[in-house]
Amino acid sequence: MERKTLKELQRFYAEKSKERGFDKETAQDALLLMVEEVGELARAVRKQASIKIDDKTKVYAVEEELADIFNYLLHISNILGLDLEESFWKKEEENKKRKWT
């Protein structure tokens, strides 16, 4: 599969969200769904770290949960009309000015 830039991934997900019927979701809808995915990531990390979890809990792979969260990040950016790549680099410029201890 051809590698894409962040801008291309954001456009790709905009198309996929329409195809999948997610294009009517609000930022709040998508954020709540992303938070659920963060919980699933926490469970997957716990399992990977051999931290005890309920045997009945369905656990997915860490990489799958990270991909789900990334999709929601793209989706929320699209809903809000934000260029995620531009936002990333702008924030990175601000972070350069901070003193990290």
Q: Is residue 1 part of a domain?
A: no
Q: Is residue 68 part of a domain?
A: yes
Residue 23 lies in a domain: yes
* pLDDT in single tens digits along all 101 residues of the chain: 788 899 999 999 999 999 999 999 999 999 999 999 999 999 999 988 888 877 777 788 999 999 999 999 999 999 999 999 999 999 999 999 998 88
Q: Which residue has the tokens 């709540």?
A: 32
**Please, where are the H alpha helices in 1-101?**
6-19, 27-48, 62-80, 84-96
Looking at residue 23, its pLDDT comes to 92
Domain-embedded: residue 101: no
Please state the domain count of the chain: 1
CATH number at residue 83: 1.10.287.1080
> 15: domain range?
6-96
